[in-house]
Amino acid sequence: MKQLKLEMEENLLMEGIDLKPLLFGAFGGLGLFIFGMQLMAEGLQKAAGDKLRRILEILTTNRFMAVITGIIVTVLVQSSSTTTVMIVGFVNAGLMTLTQAVGTIFGANIGTTITAQLVSFKGFTELALPAIAVGVVLSFFTKKRFYKYLGQAILGFGVLFLGMNTMSASLRVLRTAPGFMAFIANFGQIPILGVIAGALFTMAVQSSSAATGVVVAMTLEGVLTLDSALALILGSNIGTCVTAMLASIGTNLTARRAAVSHVVFNVIGVVIFFIILKPFTDLVVLITPTMKTEAELVARQVANAHTLFNITNTVIFFPFINQFVNLIKKLVPGEELIIERGVKFIDRRMLKTPSIALGAAEKEVVRMAEISNKMITDAINILFENRVDIRKDVAQREEVIDELEKEIATYLAELSNKGLTGKDSERLTMLLHAVNDIERIGDHSENIADLCIAKIENEVPFSDKAREEIREMYEAVLKMTNKAITALKENNLELARQVVEEDDIVDELEKKLRNKHIERLNLGLCHPTAGVVFLDIISNFERIGDHAVNLAQVVLGEM
């Protein structure tokens, strides 16, 4: 490969082709193409409203709809890499399952072929300057946001095709360079070289749409043959996976699996089509109608091949999506924390029956409390197990708690207007207080997690005695929260009274541990920074105990 590159450069110089304007034109045009694609994507997203996240959440519950959603979203963002990065982010946040993610990735691969289809029509390039003119007028001289965003999309469309024109014009000179044409011919004669080159180039530009655009531009100028172009296109489908893999660094297990599924899906597809490359090429030639020039015909064939590859790949894998997911789980083994997002028990249709709706709200509050209680253990285990990675579990649970707080509070506010009895009205008020206290328990748990992270990252030394005392405080508080949640769940008055009585015990324990630690500090037996972290941790535990008491008082009706 290196030898071929050197030979190509020597031949270009010998044939009197100036490399500077060629490179500036090609890379400048590529820059305009990528910038235009990004501008168009941003405009389309803004014009449609900030609904992509919601679309992905709602429409991916069915695997068929997941594929359709992947296509639509990728058409809007103009990049399968961008869609896949979004998917990895949603999976990491617990908003999508792995099966949903895989289906959406299948669709994203189809959606990304739309750009190639557009740029393969030479007539579209003539719209570049008119589109830029219209886009500027709408973007800068209209007041409504929708028209401004639509103008931005049209402007991006124009810049994209201006980039195509620039690339095509700069590459045109290569047709007269036999040395370069011989170099490119190797991609057709030795397709694996084209696959590697296409993958590396796509990795560099971080966009299969941009890479495909360059290939189409070269075919429009007669620089690439169909055989050479197809090899490059197959390679671009592998290279585009690198963006998602980079985005998955530091994410949870399911998100990493989603990124790996993108790689496996594309690589297996490329291997299959590489094996049947000759009949695949013949099929592409057969289904592509005749065009005015040979170069335009090859450009259309390349675009059709790109689309056919991704559609066929999806059709092959779609019936076996569950088996494919199981394969990914075997390739990336491990157990992952999965927290069900959103409300589970409450439903606005229940509001017509207030007593049933209130009972459902109580169940949702208990579920929220159980999640916050698990946060306490997760937070302190960062210290006990010396594991910084547990912090992401705490963060995920905190997000769920915040979502539940808003959903439950809104639901209870609507329920309060449904003609409740006096007793039910009091119970509703108590639940609102409980929701607030549970959310605060989550906040204090997050504080403890951050303190433990700071302790580990800053290598703050803790004595064995300090660790024993923190464990003592943790176990006392966890005992209180367990009882408070059970009391809330079972309406157990006896357990609720025990929690209230244990509040004084925890308060005294906090004072005792604080005094002991200050004594150790004064004797120089403890690091000053460790002292600050220690005192903040037990202080947060004491406040969690206070909120557990508040939950118990909800059960006792004393709020």
b (16+ CB within 10 A) / e for 204-214: ebbbbbbbbbb
- Asked if residue 296 and residue 147 are part of one domain, the reply reads yes
341 in any annotated domain: no
Count of domains observed in the chain: 2
The H-assigned helical ranges of 172-288 are 178-189, 191-205, 208-220, 226-239, 241-247, 253-275, 277-287
Q: What is the pLDDT of residues 366-381, one digit of tens each?
A: 999 999 999 999 999 8
406 domain residue, yes or no: yes
Residue 294 and residue 361 in one domain: no
In a shared domain, residues 42 and 84 = yes
Buried b (16+ CB within 10 A) or exposed e, 281-309: beebeeebeebeeebbbbbbbbbbbbbbb
Output the 3-class SS for 374-439: HHHHHHHHHHHCCCHHHHHHHHHHHHHHHHHHHHHHHHHHHHCCCCCCHHHHHHHHHHHHHHHHHH
Average model confidence (pLDDT) across the chain: 79
Q: Nearest CA to 414 among 367, 359, 358?
A: 358
Q: Are residues 321 and 363 in the same domain?
A: no
Retrieve residue 82's tokens.
């961008």
Q: How far is residue 235's CA from residue 214's CA, in Å, rounded to a whole number?
A: 13
What tokens were used for 138? Answer: 């709408």
Of 16, 345, 4, nearest to 173 by C-alpha is 16
Q: What is the pLDDT of residue 4?
A: 47
Q: Considering Cα of 166, then 161, then 86, then 107, what sign does the dihedral take? A: negative
pLDDT beyond 80 at 432: yes
Q: Which two tokens stand for residue 121?
A: 């029509």
pLDDT of residue 241: 82
The pLDDT score that the predictor gives to residue 179 is 57
Nearest alpha carbon to residue 404 among 429, 426, 372, 445: 372
Structure tokens that stand for 546 in this block: 């206070």
Mean pLDDT over 424-453 rounds to 89
For residues 455 and 462, the answer to whether their CB atoms sit within 8 Å is: yes
- 423 and 537 assigned to the same domain: yes
CATH of the domain at 552: 1.20.58.220
Q: Is residue 338 part of a domain?
A: no
CA–CA dist 222, 298 (Å, integer): 8
Return the structure tokens found at 343. Answer: 């409300």
| pLDDT recorded at residue 175 | 54
Q: Is residue 172 part of a domain?
A: yes
Neighbours of 363 (CB within 10 A): 14
Residues 327 and 355 in one domain: no
* Residue 343, in any domain of the structure: no
User: What confidence category does residue 343 fall into, taking pLDDT thresholds of 50, 70 and 90?
Assistant: confident
pLDDT, tens digit, for every residue of 91-145?
765 667 788 888 888 888 888 787 777 766 665 567 778 888 888 888 888 878 8
DSSP annotation of 50: S
- Tell me how far CA of residue 454 lies from CA of 213, 250, 385, 449, in angstroms: 48, 18, 14, 9
If asked whether residues 244 and 374 sit together in one domain, one would say: no
* Claim to verify: residue 326 and residue 395 sit in the same structural domain: no
Q: What are phi and psi of 21, to 5 degrees?
A: -65, -30
Cβ(88)–Cβ(53) under 8 Å? no
pLDDT-derived band of residue 387, with 50, 70 and 90 as boundaries?
Answer: confident
Whether residues 226 and 166 fall in one domain: yes
pLDDT surpassing 90 at residue 440: yes
User: Domain check: are 6 and 153 in the same one?
Assistant: yes
Q: Are residues 169 and 55 in the same domain?
A: yes
In a domain, 336, yes or no: no
> In the chain, what is the greatest distance between 2 CA atoms, to the nearest angstrom?
95
Q: Tell me if 321 is assigned to some domain.
A: yes
Minimal CA–CA distance to 328: which of 410, 256, 273?
256
Q: Are 197 and 8 in contact (CB under 8 A)?
A: no
Out of 299, 331, 363, pick the residue that ends a domain.
331
Q: What angle do CA 130, 136, 139 make, to 5 degrees?
A: 135
The region that residue 434 occupies, defined by phi over 0 for left and psi between -120 and 50 for alpha, beta otherwise, is alpha
Neighbouring CB atoms inside 10 A of 248's CB total 25
Answer yes or no: is 247 within a domain.
Answer: yes
Domain that holds residue 529: 348-556
Estimate to the nearest angstrom the gap between the alpha carbon of 500 and the chain centroid: 44
Tokens of 420: 């409740």
Are 267 and 403 found together in one domain? no
Per-residue pLDDT at 480 exceeds 80? yes
Q: Are 368 and 438 in contact (CB under 8 A)?
A: yes
Q: Which comes out higher in pLDDT, residue 419 or 279?
A: 279
Measured CA to CA, the distance from residue 80 to residue 73 in angstroms comes to 9
